[in-house]
Amino acid sequence: MDQYVIGVIVANVSGVLSRVSGMFTRRGFNIDSLTVGETESSGFSRITIAFHGDEDIKERILQQLQKLHDVREVEVLDSKDTVIRELLLIKVRNKTEIRQDIMTAVEIFRSKIVDYSPHGSCMRAHGRDIKDRRFYPASQALWHHGDVPHGYRGYREGRELPQDSEITKRNSSAANIYERSV
């Protein structure tokens, strides 16, 4: 089975995320990763969903998502022309005897320490398929204490930005969707 990442632009109203994730549940599809964030227009949010399946499953998911009331746009983020990154926060033990190993791993894998205390640290790693990279298995074997995967984010490379008139049009469309749902 292949992994697919899709981007869904939805109205930024209550209950939309529940309807989108519920669509997967009702049809027996599993979500590998789901991230949500408000777009530059406060009336819309972008949901990035990663899942495994074949071409038929992907097409069924796309068709079902497009039928949902508050969904404005659905696109498959092809790995050939999309920047896709995964974010992972890793909590590590901060023992004196392994501190140098931690610092070496941080440097080699271009991660960053985002929180530090005498007992533990939190490292941020990002990239494509973090769990498949050597960093994650190394951290588990040596000093891993826990992790919080934050999912995938993806945007098409070189995509033209919308004109101001398109953004205004989207904002008024979002306001209309919000008014209809209230």
What is the residue-level pLDDT of the chain in tens, covering all 182 positions? 888 989 999 999 999 999 999 999 998 999 988 989 888 888 999 999 989 999 999 999 999 999 998 999 999 988 777 777 777 777 887 778 878 888 887 887 778 888 888 878 888 877 765 554 566 566 665 555 565 555 665 655 555 544 444 444 444 444 444 444 43
Say which CATH topology domain 2-76 has.
Alpha-Beta Plaits (3.30.70)
- Residue span(s) of the chain under CATH 3.30.70.1150 come to 83-153
Q: What is the CATH number of domain 83-153?
A: 3.30.70.1150
Burial annotation 4-20 (CB, 10 A radius, 16+ → b, else e): bbbbbbbbbbeebeeeb
Compute the distance between CA of residue 42 and CA of residue 172 in angstroms, rounded to an integer.
11
Please choose, from the candidates 142, 132, 70, 156, the residue with its C-alpha nearest in 3D space to the C-alpha of residue 106. Answer: 142
- Residue span(s) of the chain under CATH 3.30.70.260 come to 2-76
